[in-house]
Amino acid sequence: MVFMHEYGKQMFSKNIHNEKRNQERDKIKKQIFLNSKTNNKQKNILARLKYNEVYSKKCKDEKTIDGSAKIIRIKKNDNLYKYAIAKAAKIIRKGKLVVFPTETVYGLGANAYDEEAIKRLYEAKERPYDKPLIIHVNSMDMVRCLVTNITEEMQTLTSNFWPGPLTIILPKSITVSDLVTAGTDTVAIRMPDNKIALDLINAANVPIAASSANITGKPSATKAKHAAKELWNKVRLILDGGMSKIGIESTVVSLIDKTPIILREGKISKEQIERVLGKKIKTYEAQNEDQVPQILKYKHYSPNAKIYVAKRNERRLRTIYSMLTFGKKLKQEKKKMMFIFSNELPKSLLESIKQYGKIICFKSKEKMAHEIFDTFRKADNEKIDAIIIEGVEQNSIGGAIMDRLIKAADGEIINYL
């Protein structure tokens, strides 16, 4: 009898919970169906809502502390698209945080004009306040409100590379908060090449200040589930637009001085920028810790596993031999290892190496850039202790890859043996 009484109490509580959930769902359906014209559209929306409800449950680790965060998986021009964009824009306008996709990595965004929202972003990311954010825009009209002057070089770069993975630094206008720029008198701006991101900015009708959607120091999020794992209890909504197209962050170029300076390498190379500007530019190299620009400070991109990078030698076999020798040493310390190679390996080498750890071989530098952060996160899921990575030649996107690997390794470079 006691068991039946407890069972009855549990069922009653469950029914109350289900009733509340169904009421909320009916409310959402009602809002969506106001503009629906056909039964097929309604059925499609219902199916997507049901899917997203299940999808959110699979991705979350814990409930939010300040609201009912959820993941909405959307596709371009499907029936759920307008609803998701409108919901995200409303959250941005209310001063809350949204995770959204871009072509580089996923962004954690807030209204660039709302200082309280910017504070929430820094707190959610556990980001130091002396690291500035990048403001995302969808038009040159929006840019004009953020800078003191649009230079000829700015116009040349934007006409060639926007929308796209290029962030440009210019003197800021008085409309930009010091919180966004970490107290500096310059502002970093870019126009993402992603329909979801651009439509979100347009619907919110404000520029969106953002940083990668991960806890500071961790690998950047290239999938919605990466962001969900780290930020689930800190955001109101995650827009899932699939895996990021490029996989590493944008190139950052400063136009403050007479000669433009690349502060961070990315998909758009130094050579491409020089070609359109018709002159040589610089790549920033700090002589000491005090000279590092604020946007580049602190450890980046690091998984829990220890990263070791073998710089590429003219003779690739020598680099691979160094990796294998170093791996044997770690094996003696009972480390669980992963080897990452920038290209395919002969079968004979695969057999020799796989006895020491898991092997990942990328087919191209573009593929490596696209998947390296996802691979880092998979290594953490598999409880890998050490990742030994073959470096790449530093041309085209190779320079950007090496920049990320060396920062993730925090100086752990394997010398040739």
Q: What is the pLDDT of residue 14?
A: 46
What's the rounded mean pLDDT across residues 99-109? 98
- Indicate where the chain has its CATH 3.40.50.11030 domain(s): 306-414
- Tell me the pTM: 0.83
**Exposed (0-12), middle (13-18) or buried (19+): which is 317, by Cβ within 10 Å?**
exposed
d(CA 84, CA 91): 11
Tell me yes or no: is domain 84-296 CATH 3.40.50.150: no
Question: Tell me: the pLDDT tens digits for 262-291?
Answer: 999 999 999 999 999 999 999 987 544 444
Task: Give the number of residues written for the chain.
Answer: 417
- Indicate where the chain has its CATH 3.90.870.10 domain(s): 84-296
Check pLDDT > 70 for residue 15: no
Question: Tell me: the pLDDT tens digits for 288-322?
Answer: 444 445 545 555 788 999 999 998 777 888 899 89
Choose the CATH number for 306-414 among 3.30.930.10, 3.40.50.11030, 3.40.50.300, 3.40.1370.10: 3.40.50.11030
Q: What is the pLDDT of residue 323?
A: 92
Residue 96 and residue 261 in contact, taking contact as beta carbons nearer than 8 Å: no
- Contact residues for 303 (Cβ-Cβ < 8 A; gap 6+): 218, 219, 376, 377, 379, 380, 387, 408
Rounded percentage of the chain residues whose pLDDT exceeds 70? 79
Identify the CA nearest to 342 among candidates 359, 325, 357, 354.
359
Which 3 state secondary structure label does DSSP give 292? coil
Q: What is the pLDDT of residue 311?
A: 83
Question: Tell me: the pLDDT tens digits for 177-232?
Answer: 999 999 999 999 999 999 999 999 999 999 999 999 999 999 999 999 999 999 98
Q: Which residue has the higher pLDDT, 149 or 67?
A: 149
